[in-house]
């Protein structure tokens, strides 16, 4: 028997549910694979095995309200080794059957001017914005950043080995991360846990501060801002 399961990935809007057609004798692990495929490229950064699935029965018309008050402790999480037939014996039309949760992204961050061995990790949902990432970084680095407004933290998307930090010659940095951008729009592929993903720079009174010999240069051209590049070079300690 073919099941048509109405699914929803947490973090989306209430009208972003989707249907997965799957044989009832398949396993929950197969359903995870099909959900990942169905939601590409949005779930490209996640291994199918890392998806969490819960069985529900929620009228689609009430989805927005129900999701605000849902208690996951009372739901049945679907184990990957079980057949779907053990859970979905009566699939109601017009109802949501499966809620999907993606694991938090773990972003390795480095504050320019800090010691090279003081990288730190921030966990964030992929559907959140860069603005929230700034808040989390400020919170993670308390009390060191207590004197800084989160909006004065400038972030760059990078990918270079953490082991390269002591050389004070990290490679070219990536584009600056704009506040309104979603994390999912920036980190589309799986992350290398041995790399720095975000470089943080503090700006106060319109000036970048550096203490350990790093200066961040933003080299722009006549191209749109998204094409601007940033590089990091080593010079004596300074404020500019």
Q: Could you state, in order of their start, the residue ranges of all structural domains in the chain?
A: 2-101, 104-202
Region of 11 please: left (phi>0), alpha (psi -120 to 50) or beta. left
Evaluate whether 3 touches 95 at the Cβ level (below 8 Å): no
Cα 83 to the chain's mean position, in Å? 30
Please list the helix, strand and coil fractions of the chain in percent, rounded to the nearest 5, in that order.
Answer: 25, 35, 40
Evaluate whether 162 touches 119 at the Cβ level (below 8 Å): yes
Q: 2-101 and 104-202 share one CATH topology?
A: yes
Alpha helices in 194-240 (DSSP H): none
pLDDT reported for residue 211: 44
pLDDT in tens, 167-203: 756 555 668 899 999 888 888 777 899 999 999 999 8
What is the phi/psi pair of residue 127, to 5°? Answer: -90, 5
Question: For the structural domain made of 104-202, what CATH number should be given?
Answer: 3.10.20.90
Spatial separation of the C-alpha atoms in residues 132 and 124, rounded to whole Å: 9
Look at 47 and 88; give whichever has higher pLDDT.
88
pLDDT in tens, 65-121: 888 888 888 899 999 999 999 999 989 999 999 999 888 889 999 998 888 889 999
Mean pLDDT rounded to a whole number for the chain: 82
Q: What is the largest CA-CA distance in the chain?
A: 70
The sign of the CA dihedral 152, 156, 162, 164 is negative
Evaluate whether 237 touches 227 at the Cβ level (below 8 Å): no
CA dihedral 126, 129, 135, 136 (to 10 degrees): 10
User: Taking residues 53-61, what's their average pLDDT?
Assistant: 94
CATH 3.40.50.2000 fits domain 2-101: no
């Amino acid at each position: 028997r073919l099941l048509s399961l109405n699914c929803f990935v947490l973090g989306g809007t209430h009208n972003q549910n989707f249907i997965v057609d799957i044989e009832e004798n398949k396993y929950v692990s197969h359903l995870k694979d099909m959900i990942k495929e169905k939601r590409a490229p949005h779930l490209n950064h996640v291994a199918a095995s890392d998806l969490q699935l819960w069985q529900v029965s929620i009228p689609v018309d009430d989805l927005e309200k129900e999701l605000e008050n849902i208690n996951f402790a009372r739901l049945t999480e679907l184990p990957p080794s079980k057949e779907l037939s053990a859970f979905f014996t009566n699939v109601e039309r017009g109802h949501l059957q499966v809620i999907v949760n993606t694991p938090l992204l773990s972003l390795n961050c480095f504050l320019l001017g800090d010691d090279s061995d003081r990288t730190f990790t921030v966990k964030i949902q992929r559907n959140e914005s860069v603005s929230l990432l700034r808040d989390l970084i400020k919170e993670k680095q308390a009390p060191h950043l207590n004197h800084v407004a989160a909006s004065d933290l400038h972030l760059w998307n990078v990918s270079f080995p953490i082991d390269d930090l002591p050389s004070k010659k990290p490679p070219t940095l990536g584009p600056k991360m704009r506040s309104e951008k979603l994390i999912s729009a920036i980190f589309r592929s799986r992350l290398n846990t041995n790399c720095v993903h975000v470089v943080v720079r503090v700006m106060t009174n319109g000036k970048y501060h550096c203490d350990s010999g790093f200066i961040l240069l933003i080299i722009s051209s006549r191209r749109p801002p998204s094409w601007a590049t940033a590089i990091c070079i080593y010079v004596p300690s300074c404020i500019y």
